[in-house]
Structure 1
Amino acid sequence: MLANNGHEVTVFVYDKASKDTVIKSDSYRIVRFSPNQTFTKGYLGYSTQISYEYATVIKRYIEKEGAPDIIESQEYLGIAYYLLQFKWLGYEWIKNVPVVITAHSPAFLYLPHNHISTYKYPLFWIGEMERFCLQAADFVISPTQFLLDQINKDISINAPASVLANPFKPAISKEIVPEMGFSEEIVLLGKLSAQKGTFITLKNMEEAWKTRPNITLRLIGDQKIVYHPLGKTMADIVKSRYAQQISTGQLVLDAKIPPTQFIRKIGKAAMVIVPSTIDNLPYVVLEMMAMGKIVLASKQGGQSEIITHGMNGFLFDHEVEGDFIKQVLYIMTLADDQKRQIIENAQQLIHSRYSPTEIYRKKIRLLSQVKERQHLSTVFPLIRSKGEVVNYSGDEEKKGLLSIIITFYNSGEYLDGVLKNLSQVDYKEVEIIIVDDGSTDSDSLRRLAALIPGDTLKIIRHSNRGLAASRNEGARIAKGEFIAFLDADDLVKPDYYSKAISVLKKFRNIQFVGAWTRYFGKSNGIWPTFNPEPPIILYHNTINSAGIVFRRSAYLLSNGNDEQMPVKGLEDYDMIISMISNNMYGVVLPEALFEYRVRYNSMVRGITDYQKQLLTEYIRSKHQIIYSKYGVELLNLISQNGQSFKIDNPSLDYDFADKIPFGGKLAIRAASFVKRNKFLRPIAYKIYRLFN
């Protein structure tokens, strides 16, 4: 549609079988790219990795060719999540490009209608990515008011939004649609699933067959969808439950067919039914109305905005008992001239309201408005909260100054390394504060004594009081507007602090910034962290809380690290919960800018599972108000995914990994590999059926 009106259009499509191919036409091109270019599949779940790959490929094209006028994406599975994260976090290549989200079918709305728990990882996280896309868009287009209303029941969308249908061009011209007869056959055209109304329709037909046994129900569509509560395909379930009706011919199951076969397969059907329990703008309604079929659709979806009951089709209400059968029987009593009038009305509607010409006229006006809007927001788009704007008038702070607080205890062997590392950071307004927590090691004391304090280096010593006390002491004496904690054995990338402070300066509702973590020393790998928002952050940590950059005033207002925890450990995680409890939010830079040294004798590795449970109980009891607010969500997350201290990455499929005969991270990688491979997925399903 856009290309036909003179616009240059590039469509990006991930293709696991492709090694970056470009299909060009006069005014559009299709870029098929391999979703394995960044090596993030080693630590990101499948859908999350796909989102990161989209952002990476688009970045490469923008840097090569320049920025487009507009980027448009769907919200489904969060494919624009990282694109929007990079945009809002101020990355140069994308920060000034308007991003429009056209709502499609959010998993967080649709999965419950397929009787799938949205709290199981990674599904809950995918829902959070979708929600962020809707919140962070410059503009949201919804094909129907129904979908927009359903989304707003879940979250209140921050972005401006408008209803605009997708364009539709009939595959068959209404002038060549043949004259069609009428029978007692009903066709349900679409994949077999609970959401598409398969189960509820069959239940209704059981009643209809009691009085009208000659009615035939033909199901045409993909039969391989797995119904998760039973772990079986929809075809297996339907064939088992309705074997008798299949044998008598009352029920017919046909595989999915292309549009070119519609006339041959369903030309003489009395009606096509669309009994979805939720839907956006189902194209089958547009296709069938344009083709000259009478359509009976549920009111539970955007299809109710297409059909005017009795005028160009028919509607029934799932919530009204017997309404489906009532409408089916009524349609079958219509005279031929009544049917033909309804068909004519339907075809006229589709060819006028949904034509590419009409939709283009409306869409280009919307896109022009989006392009003209200057993005000047100083409020970062959080999913469920606006976040607090901190106005603190405490100790005198030097605006723009970063105070880096190094917590030090017998860490002499790492001191030269961390100071050299900090000398390379590209943010220059820095003071370094070393807080010695009562070191006893002679080498450590000697190295500290060799340092010369001054305006940009302070050394504080106190008796051994623990990590929390050292951080708090450093924060109290710091003069910077911003503070960053750094253990003496950890490191940062040169641009970490400058990028973090840029975010803090821009957004009044953001009080701390973290980044992905790269492990080194006795281990390697990357921990991809995520914006710490409830309910996930209340379930487990999602940010490199030991090495983030704070707005100092917000840290002090939240009372700093807890020095009274029952055992040492998780002080930094508790700090994050304290800030969230006070409506002070943070974000994550989606790149590995923080480097965490893994040591066998580190404090974190010494914490037992029992101690982690004890600390988790302490944190939840301490912050009862916010935990109570999200109590139901947290109970569901724990029920579906297990104990929180065993989870640190919501994008991974821990449940699938648990079913692999070997455990640990290798199982998670194996699970990820199977889910990415279209040949292994059906084999895995058969194995699953054997053991479940």
Structure 2
Amino acid sequence: MKTLLLTFECPPDVTGGGLCTYVQEYIAAKIERREPTVILTADFNVQDEVCTYFGCVKVIRFNPSAGDSFKYMGHWAAMSYEFSNQVKKIITDGFQPDWLEVCDGFGLGYFTLQRKLCLEAPFTDLKVLVTAHTPVTMIDEWDKKNIYELPTYFTKYMEQFCFMAADKVISPSNFLKKKLLTEFLEKNVPIDVIPNPYEKPFVPSKTGTDAAESSPLHDIPDYAIASRVCYWKGIDHALAGFDLYWSNGGQSSLYVYGSDTQYFKNNQSFKETLSTKYQQWIEKGLLKFAGLKEHSEILLIKKQLKALFHPSLCENYPYSVIEHMADGGIVAASLSGGQAEFISDTENGFLFDPHSPQSVQNAILKIDALNDAERHAIAQNAMTTIEKTCSYASVMTQKELALTAAEQQSARATFPFTSGKELTHPAAQASAGLTVIIPHYNLGTLLVEAIESIKFSSLPNIKILVVDDGSTDKESIIILKTLEARYADLKVLYKKNSGVAETRNIGVQHATTEYIALLDADDLVCASYYEAALKILNRYSNVGFVGAWNEDFNQTGRLRLWPTFNPEIPLQMIMNTTNCQGLVVRRDAYLAHGQHDPELGMFLDDWEATISMVLNGVRGVMIPHPLFKYRIREESIFRDKFRMFNINYNYIIDKHQDKLSGTYGEIIKFLNANGPNTQYHNPTFPPERNTHPEPAQTAAPQHAEGRLVQLAHKYYDRVNQPGAIRDLRIGLRKLGAGQLMSRLRK
């Protein structure tokens, strides 16, 4: 089975740690099975990319910062996007995997999955496996960190989405599976439980100088904890048990090996906090915080211990425990974790309740009392357990059977939203068409550019309905008449001035196609936008509207990219994550739940419409490419009416308060963590960095499209960029709209 594995940790650059050890064992298992495999990992120290070969396994290290994503997204969102670009490159270069596997941490597979589900080639045919190692935001919550701070809050969404969107999810333990389903995911996901692979490496016998290197080390404790000094690892809980043991006369020592963290209760060093608390045992030489050691040194230390303690309050499937048991070491571990599924108390190790100091003390006393024969028997049982449970043959066979079964599943008919209500929409007719609704008021010259962008669309037979909101500018009126005469598929509906919200609604009411697209008269669309949007709407019965990333521009050209994201409540209520002014929507869904509210006075009406749709189960998908071009004008409504934000936002909250009642707690926690929602617009950045960057001329990634469409798109971009061609076009308009339009009629 050919596989492509995405990981943010890979040996030998990183050693120790669960994910790194998994990748190491994964490579070894693939080599043993002679299965062609590509490992893709990030390395900010390489120039572009570096390839290393281990038999049938190719490891590609690439520098994510070589891409543009970090200019408009925070670290992990940008990492995910750059990984997806590399996946596209690997497949395009000829390696077509049977399965792509990605770890769950930081939502690394988010954009690969989003692009796959948005039906972008070559992602469409990918089968994606998410292997659970414990989402980092779930660990953050266990460690009492504030997961409502940006970008952590959005990272959690990315991680949740990966589980929902994957073709298969595998967890190494029932413990982690239960935690995911009851504490992390808001909707049910089928999860198979398959242990992680591990085989004890063959180490040739050493003599002479080499033997001296493995001789007993000085200053070796009786017991050790090899872990970060943090809350969720249960260090304090274990020390409470050792404190009881020492207070009762116990003499066995404990060393803690690992890096320090901040303690959530006092925001101080956790090591210093514990050192102060248990100072008497440190002074007596029974307790020592020995700091971070190299993985190789830890392995030597562990060989000489009475037992390795692993007191985590929650744990997935700890490789540190597996390694020690496979090496014939004795482990005393917490009952709260995947390790309790392969440790039988007193038979191949010891288990204790981390919340009970008495239970911890009992485990210490049992181990202290072991004779050599008992120690040998437990060690042999431990090695046998790991060999049977984690051998490459056993684990990889189980995984292959699970993936083969998953390949028989039919194509996904619904989009995987992470939370909230979802309406199912009737299947569209084969001839379902699209009408672009353009509200217009005195913007004739810019309207021409908007129409031109539609005409370059790769989607054929688009209807255009311009709704004029009582324009008073003579030039604009002439242009409207001329455009209507020029294009058979363009109609103009004239009405008295009543505002953009009602104007959009009237346009949708008069449309006759199943799908409609919103487009302001001064905005533009890229050639592939509408075709890509309709593919998504036609594929997924629970998707009611589709959008894309924004490319902001003004009279000088491109300013910036603004990434958009699938709207979920309550985040969409706090900040707009869609290009709400340019969505492609099912007409019936718009009329039922998405009509723009005239009470908002042309400000936030489009955002409120998306909130209304999502709250009522009309769900949206954002294509992760800048296919919508949003014009920034000094005189635009948004820039001029920003002072109205609080007034209109209060109105929106009042309007939807019944449906929002279950989310107020989360909204309050979010606002407490990040400040008022006028201070940020991009959920992938922390609030202090959440301002629009200075305008920059940057190349924007493009959605996959045919060669002819690409050429048309390039031409369209060229004529709308600053330069002689655009100056000529604008100059011709300024010569006299009446003369110019009269010529166009001929």
2:199 aligns with one of 161, 169, 172: 169
Q: Secondary structure at the match of 2:450?
A: helix
Does residue 40 of structure 2 align to residue 6 of structure 1?
A: no
Does residue 610 of structure 2 align to residue 576 of structure 1?
A: yes
Shift of 1:629: 1.9
Counterpart AA for 1:194: Y
Contact map agreement 2:83 2:112 (CA 8 A) in 1: yes
2:518 aligns with 485
Please give the alpha-carbon distance, in whole angstroms, between the structure 2 residues aligned to 1:175 and 1:142: 36
- Alignment map for 1:534-683 (pairs within 5 Å): 534-558=569-593, 560-565=595-600, 567-609=601-643, 611-655=644-688, 657=689, 664-665=691-692
- Alignment map for 1:67-86 (pairs within 5 Å): 67-86=96-115
Please give the alpha-carbon distance, in whole angstroms, between the structure 2 residues aligned to 1:645 and 1:628: 22
2:375 aligns with one of 327, 339, 356: 339
TM-score normalized by structure 2?
Answer: 0.83
Contact map agreement 2:554 2:632 (CA 8 A) in 1: yes
Shift of 1:157: 5.5
Counterpart AA for 1:505: N
1:15 aligns with 43
2:395 aligns with 359
Deviation per residue, 1:123-167 (Å, 9 max, x gap):
111111111110111111111111111110132565542111111
Q: Secondary structure at the match of 1:2?
A: helix
2:255 aligns with 218
My pick for the range that moved more, 38-47 or 351-360, is 351-360
1:682 aligns with none
Does residue 384 of structure 2 align to residue 348 of structure 1?
A: yes
2:319 aligns with 283
Shift of 1:636: 1.1
Shift of 1:231: 4.5
Residues 452, 377 of structure 1: CA spacing in aligned structure 2 closer, same or farther, 3 A cutoff?
A: same
1:688 aligns with none
- Alignment map for 1:254-265 (pairs within 5 Å): 254-262=290-298, 264-265=300-301
Shift of 1:173: 6.3
Counterpart AA for 1:15: D
Residues 15, 92 of structure 1: CA spacing in aligned structure 2 closer, same or farther, 3 A cutoff?
A: same
2:364 aligns with 328
2:457 aligns with one of 425, 439, 443: 425
Contact map agreement 2:505 2:596 (CA 8 A) in 1: yes
Counterpart AA for 1:338: E
2:246 aligns with 209
Counterpart AA for 2:447: L
Shift of 1:407: 1.1
Residues 269, 443 of structure 1: CA spacing in aligned structure 2 closer, same or farther, 3 A cutoff?
A: same
Deviation per residue, 1:92-137 (Å, 9 max, x gap):
2011111111111112321112111111111111111111110111
Shift of 1:364: 2.2
Does residue 171 of structure 2 align to residue 133 of structure 1?
A: no
Does residue 491 of structure 2 align to residue 458 of structure 1?
A: yes
Q: Secondary structure at the match of 1:118?
A: coil
Q: Secondary structure at the match of 1:116?
A: coil
Contact map agreement 2:240 2:357 (CA 8 A) in 1: no
Counterpart AA for 2:235: T
Shift of 1:264: 4.0
Contact map agreement 1:438 1:463 (CA 8 A) in 2: yes
Contact map agreement 2:221 2:255 (CA 8 A) in 1: no
Please give the alpha-carbon distance, in whole angstroms, between the structure 1 residues aligned to 2:575 and 2:471: 32
Shift of 1:321: 5.7
Contact map agreement 2:234 2:311 (CA 8 A) in 1: yes
Does residue 433 of structure 2 align to residue 401 of structure 1?
A: yes
Shift of 1:226: 4.3
Q: Which sections of structure 1, spanning at least 5 residues, go unmatched?
A: 659-663, 670-692
1:197 aligns with 234
Residues 362, 214 of structure 1: CA spacing in aligned structure 2 closer, same or farther, 3 A cutoff?
A: same
Deviation per residue, 1:462-488 (Å, 9 max, x gap):
121111101000000001111111111
Please give the alpha-carbon distance, in whole angstroms, between the structure 1 residues aligned to 2:204 and 2:267: 43
Shift of 1:331: 2.5
1:114 aligns with 143
My pick for the range that moved more, 570-579 or 443-452, is 443-452
Please give the alpha-carbon distance, in whole angstroms, between the structure 2 residues aligned to 1:180 and 1:23: 35
Residues 642, 262 of structure 1: CA spacing in aligned structure 2 closer, same or farther, 3 A cutoff?
A: closer
Does residue 282 of structure 2 align to residue 249 of structure 1?
A: no
Deviation per residue, 1:270-306 (Å, 9 max, x gap):
2211011111110111111122222111111111112
1:188 aligns with 225
Deviation per residue, 1:411-457 (Å, 9 max, x gap):
12212211211111111121111111111122222222323356511
Count, aligned residues: 656
Q: Which sections of structure 2, spanning at least 5 residues, go unmatched?
A: 1-28, 207-213, 697-746
Deviation per residue, 1:648-692 (Å, 9 max, x gap):
21111125x49xxxxx5569x9xxxxxxxxxxxxxxxxxxxxxxx
Please give the alpha-carbon distance, in whole angstroms, between the structure 2 residues aligned to 1:112 and 1:158: 20
My pick for the range that moved more, 226-235 or 507-516, is 226-235
1:690 aligns with none
Shift of 1:87: 0.9
Shift of 1:187: 0.8
Q: Secondary structure at the match of 2:134?
A: coil
Does residue 330 of structure 2 align to residue 294 of structure 1?
A: yes
My pick for the range that moved more, 335-344 or 86-95, is 335-344
Residues 450, 267 of structure 1: CA spacing in aligned structure 2 closer, same or farther, 3 A cutoff?
A: closer
Shift of 1:172: 6.5
Counterpart AA for 2:86: V
Contact map agreement 1:184 1:214 (CA 8 A) in 2: no
Shift of 1:378: 1.1
Q: Secondary structure at the match of 1:439?
A: coil
Counterpart AA for 2:368: M
Deviation per residue, 1:164-198 (Å, 9 max, x gap):
111112247699999999x9822111222112112
Shift of 1:327: 2.1
Residues 512, 135 of structure 1: CA spacing in aligned structure 2 closer, same or farther, 3 A cutoff?
A: same
1:38 aligns with 67
Contact map agreement 1:4 1:27 (CA 8 A) in 2: no
Does residue 475 of structure 2 align to residue 443 of structure 1?
A: yes
Deviation per residue, 1:526-559 (Å, 9 max, x gap):
1100000122112211000000100111101115
Contact map agreement 1:561 1:572 (CA 8 A) in 2: yes
Q: Secondary structure at the match of 1:505?
A: helix
Shift of 1:392: 10
1:672 aligns with none
Contact map agreement 2:679 2:687 (CA 8 A) in 1: no
Please give the alpha-carbon distance, in whole angstroms, between the structure 1 residues aligned to 2:640 and 2:504: 20
Contact map agreement 1:174 1:291 (CA 8 A) in 2: no
Please give the alpha-carbon distance, in whole angstroms, between the structure 1 residues aligned to 2:338 and 2:215: 28
Residues 21, 204 of structure 1: CA spacing in aligned structure 2 closer, same or farther, 3 A cutoff?
A: same
Shift of 1:229: 5.8
Q: Secondary structure at the match of 1:596?
A: strand
Q: Secondary structure at the match of 1:645?
A: coil
Counterpart AA for 2:258: G
